[in-house]
Amino acid sequence: MVLAAGKGTRMRSDTPKVLHRVCGRGMAWLVVDAARAAGFAPIVVVVSPDSGAIKDALGDQVTYVEQAEPLGSGHALQQAEGALRNAQSVAVLYGDVPLIQSSTLRRMMDLHLAEGASVTLLTATLEDPDGLGRITRDSSGKITGIVEDNETDESTRSITEVNGGMYCFRGAWLWPGLGGLGASSGGEVYLTDLVAAAVQGKATVVSMEAPGSQETLGVNSRPQLAEAERVLLERIRERWMTNGVTMPDPATVYIGHSVELDRDTTILPNTHLAGDTQIGRRCEIGPNTIISDSSIGNGCRVVASMVEMSVIEDDVHIGPFSHIRPGSHLEQRVHIGNFAEVSRTRLGSGTKVSHFGYLGDASVGAHANIGAGTVTCNYDGEEKHRTVIGSGAFIGSDSMLVAPVDIGEGSSTGAGAVVTRDVPPDHLAVGIPARNRPKRKKKRGGDP
Ligand code: UD1
Ligand code: CA
């Protein structure tokens, strides 16, 4: 069960707290993902009534239960009784503790089952326990309960062992136990009071120390959100470097949670790889590059450029200072130089756009050469139109291709041509507006 119905007041945000992103993924998504990877099923998420955005983010792989009013984490738990009444064991996770790893959850559940416990909880020992529930123990070291931060006194405030906010419960104990919880001084029903209740009822309470304090980092505020981002980023970079990716200056590289990289690729400084992005082998990406939601083949080089929602095949070179916009597809060995903008355009293998220009809504064959300053005039103010350029075409510098227009295979345009009519294959279009004439026979060794 993932609790995600709290108000998240301390974020000062119009967005539900658990949807704030860490490395490109909403916190609740990360928690659900860890639960799923730990083998927990079904997954029930407790949400507030205005939680359309959370449902959009998590989809229909999980079950939703509503908590009409945020009356505390214990009250949130009560709402899920109908959905989980028959479960033998119930893991309860907070949607705002995004760094938890599935291996830790699995170990906690295994310990819980092995000990036959009624309650198992994850704890951490922190230098600064401020804001968190403190674990109290008796003189023999046995847990006696959890004291919430706002209910601490002189003696409990200095306790550094805290509640990590992850629990396993024995189902048959949990639901009757929940009914007995009272409200705190602030009117909320605290799920943490279950621990003292279990101790009083002589039920077995087991604790497990989290492997490092970072996994239990709870995000209640934006500074804590930034801290979670820092930790997860470090983890992601470490993972890719271990898998064979070179990063000379990892601290300046941003890699989203869902990005995949292959071995012998180098990510140079100030590079952002975001969204659903895959990058193949032996690529050199950066410096100063942004790639989002794109697939990049093997042996590519992207320098100081931006690539969005596009497919880049093997051995493509891009940049510096170019922009590949959504819906583009660059086939093998395409070369994009500086200051080129390519949008919703497919470029055939070996085609070159070496200098500044704009290709939008175009389809270009293989081994075409697009001269400096070429523009596809794709927009007439109302609609966008397509430009088709055949294989082997040679588009002269500063050509304006007024779409819809079709440049035949092997055709050329003269410098400065404004092409308003289709050019048949093997023709040369010149002038304003361009006139078509058959190409002269190729001279030996030279271009037409
Ligand atoms: C909670 C724990 C605290 C622990 C800390 C770890 C309680 C009472 N306290 O404190 O012991 O050290 O987490 O990070 O649980 N929620 C609901 N409905 C509600 C209230 C909360 O669904 O009515 C959800 C929130 O969305 C959140 C989670 O429960 O995901 C925890 O609530 P939060 O207010 O963040 O508790 P903390 O003060 O952080
Ligand atoms: Ca919290």
Q: Is 11 in the pocket of ligand 1 (CB under 6 A)?
A: no
Q: Ligand 1: does its nearest atom lie under 6 Å from the Cβ of 72?
A: yes
Q: How crowded is residue 174: how many other Cβ atoms within 10 Å of its Cβ? A: 25
The pTM for the full model equals 0.93
String of DSSP letters for 315-368: T-EE-SS-EE-TT-EE-TT-EE-SSEEEES-EE-TT-EE-SSEEEESEEE-TT-
Closest CA to 105 of 208, 214, 239, 212: 208
The atom of ligand 1 lying closest to the CA of 217 is 14
- Is omega for the bond preceding 287 within 30 degrees of 0, making it cis? yes
- Does residue 48 have its Cβ closer than 6 Å to ligand 1? no
Q: How many CA atoms lie within 13 A of 82 on its CB side?
A: 9
Output the CA 130–ligand 1 centroid distance in Å: 14
Identity of residue 23: C
- Name the residue at shortest CA distance from atom 16 of ligand 1: 6
pLDDT score recorded for residue 204: 97
CA 65 – CA 227 distance, rounded (Å): 30
Whether residue 215 has its Cβ less than 6 Å from ligand 1: no
Pocket test of ligand 1: the residue of 27, 69, 94, 97 to mutate, having most ligand atoms within 8 Å of its CB, is 94
Residue type, position 165, single letter = G
DSSP string computed for 33-98: HHHHHTT--S-EEEE-TT-HHHHHHHGGGSEEEE-SS---HHHHHHHTHHHHTT-SEEEEEETT-T
Q: Measured in angstroms, how far is the CA atom of residue 13 from the centroid of ligand 2?
A: 15
Give the span between the Cα atoms of 403 and 375, in whole angstroms: 10
Ligand closest to Cα of 191 equals 1
Q: Locate the ligand 1 atom nearest the alpha carbon of residue 97 and give its number.
A: 14
Give catalytic status of residue 355 as yes or no. yes
Please work out whether the CB of residue 67 comes within 6 Å of at least one atom of ligand 1. yes
The protein residue with its alpha carbon nearest to ligand 1, atom 22, reads: 5
Evaluate whether 296 touches 314 at the Cβ level (below 8 Å): no
Q: The tokens 């088709």 sit on which residue?
A: 388
Q: Please report which ligand is nearest the Cα atom of 190.
A: 1
pLDDT tens digit sequence for 138-184: 999 999 999 999 999 999 999 999 999 999 999 999 999 998 888 88
In a structure prediction context, what are the per-residue pLDDT tens digits for the chain, which is 448 residues long? 999 998 889 999 999 999 999 999 999 999 999 999 999 999 999 999 988 999 999 999 999 999 999 999 999 999 999 999 999 999 999 999 999 999 999 999 999 999 999 999 999 999 999 999 999 999 999 999 999 999 999 999 999 999 999 999 999 999 999 988 888 888 899 999 999 999 999 999 999 999 988 999 999 999 999 999 999 999 999 999 999 999 999 999 999 999 999 999 999 999 999 999 999 999 999 999 999 999 999 999 999 999 999 999 999 999 999 999 999 999 999 999 999 999 999 999 999 999 999 999 999 999 999 999 999 999 999 999 999 999 999 999 999 999 999 999 999 999 999 999 999 999 999 999 999 999 987 666 655 5
Separation of alpha carbons 320 and 20, rounded Å: 33
Give the strand pairing for 266-267 and 205-209. unpaired
- How close is the Cα of 190 to the center of ligand 1, in Å? 8
CA 363/CA 378 separation, integer angstroms: 12
Record the tokens describing residue 79, joined without a space. Answer: 């709402």
Pocket test for ligand 1, best of 54, 73, 195 (most atoms within 8 A of CB): 73
Q: CB of 277 closer than 6 A to ligand 1? A: no
**DSSP string over 249-313:** SGGGEEE-TT-EE-TT-EE-SSEEEESS-EE-TT-EE-SS-EEES-EE-SS-EE-S-EEES-EE-
DSSP code of residue 441: P
Distance between CA atoms of 329 and 181, rounded to whole angstroms? 59
CA of 103 to the centre of ligand 1 (A): 22
